[in-house]
Amino acid sequence: MYLVLCTFVPCLTVSTGRAVAQELFLTWGTTEVADNLKKTNPERLAYPDGLADQVPELFCIGKLLFRVSDTCQVLFSPSNLQYNAAQGTHRCADGSTAAGSWRFAPNQWECIGSANGNISSSYDGWIDLFAWGSSGYDNIPPYSNKLNAKIPFPGEHKNIAGTNYDWGVWCGIGTDAPGTWRTLTREEWDYLFKSRENARQLYAYGSIEGVNGLIVLPDEWEQPADVPFGLNYSNSYTETEWRKLESAGAVFLPYAGSRYFNGNYTLVERVGSYGAYWTASCTNRSGYEDYSMQLMLPGPGCGVGPRGMGMSVRLVQNKRIIKP
């Protein structure tokens, strides 16, 4: 019989926008160890293999986590995904390097707006509305804009979850390696807004610095005492006020509009009044349409959109696997 000691050790800082929270790893140590436990084993937000039955539910960075299924909690990326075709290079999952730079927006409420209409292979500016699966893999570049062109995925009805068509899987984003992030599926977006515990109490419409969008709260939400939050669609915050909510784990999904090509030129519409975020799921109905999470009143829900339409992308990391 071995005595197992469990300690929490702060090992990493995690940035959410400009807010920074300490991420805690679980470190296992033993006074006497069998061969398979000789090494101290830092585990990130998951039960160590072989010790699952002994481990209580862990806090780690729980106050920044969002349940998206019965078995998984995720950490949202700091902000929406952005791309510049003319600046720098980025790493790809196959070890190659491709032109252009990926980053997350400087702040959660920032979106590009009408400048998305300038998209091209040489445009030296940031864009944040993307065609479905336009990671750059398989000759589907981030500046794809052909509304009615069937994007040549292998098979008519193929989800992109876990594939190189997923921006987070194929691309290095900023200093993050390829595979650091991923796109939520339709089922996961639905679970977030409809099925997790107290789901309807954990989102509300609002604005930050005049930018409209949806505020989403983590599973373990603790309301800052000096910043109000309600479900009545009248939440309006300055940057200073928002930083307090952000530090407590709140995520903001801005109404960044949509982009499409009308046959002659690219149009950007409904910036500030409409938000749609791609899922990794296809409709199984048509090679031209796939699911997006639409943030409209009376509540967010998944709808279909043409693959070539430009929509927002918000990525996540798997952070805690909840074993039954």
Based on the fold, state whether residues 70 and 116 are members of the same structural domain.
yes
The answer to whether residues 52 and 99 belong to one domain is no
Question: What is the Cα–Cα distance from 133 to 151, expressed in whole angstroms?
Answer: 9
Clarify whether residues 158 and 112 are in a common domain.
yes
51 plus 83 within the same structural domain: no
Are 121 and 138 in the same domain? Answer: yes
The helix/strand/coil state of 154 is coil
Same domain membership, residue 74 and residue 36: no
DSSP E strands, the chain: 4-16, 19-30, 41-43, 66-67, 72-76, 81-91, 97-104, 126-127, 182-183, 203-208, 211-216, 235-237, 251-254, 258-261, 266-269, 276-282, 289-294, 301-306, 315-321
Q: What is the pLDDT along the chain (324 residues), one digit of tens a residue?
A: 333 333 333 333 333 333 333 333 222 222 222 333 222 222 333 333 333 333 333 344 678 999 999 999 999 999 999 999 999 999 999 999 999 999 999 999 999 999 999 999 999 999 999 998 999 998 889 998 764 455 555 555 578 899 999 999 999 999 999 999 999 999 999 999 999 999 999 999 999 999 999 999 999 999 999 999 998 777 999 999 999 999 999 999 999 999 988 777 889 999 999 999 999 988 766 556 677 888 877 789 888 878 888 999 999 999 988 766
- Determine the pLDDT at residue 9: 30
Say if residues 258 and 269 touch (Cβ distance below 8 Å): yes
DSSP state of 63: G
Residue 272 tokens, joined = 């500030």
Residues 36 and 119 in one domain: no
What pTM, to 2 d.p., does this model score? 0.80
Q: Last residue of some domain: 60, 77, 97? A: 60
Instruction: Answer yes or no: do 179 and 264 share one domain.
Output: yes
Residue 90 lies in domain: 65-324
Number of domains making up the chain: 2
Q: Of 14, 33, 60, at which residue does a domain stop?
A: 60
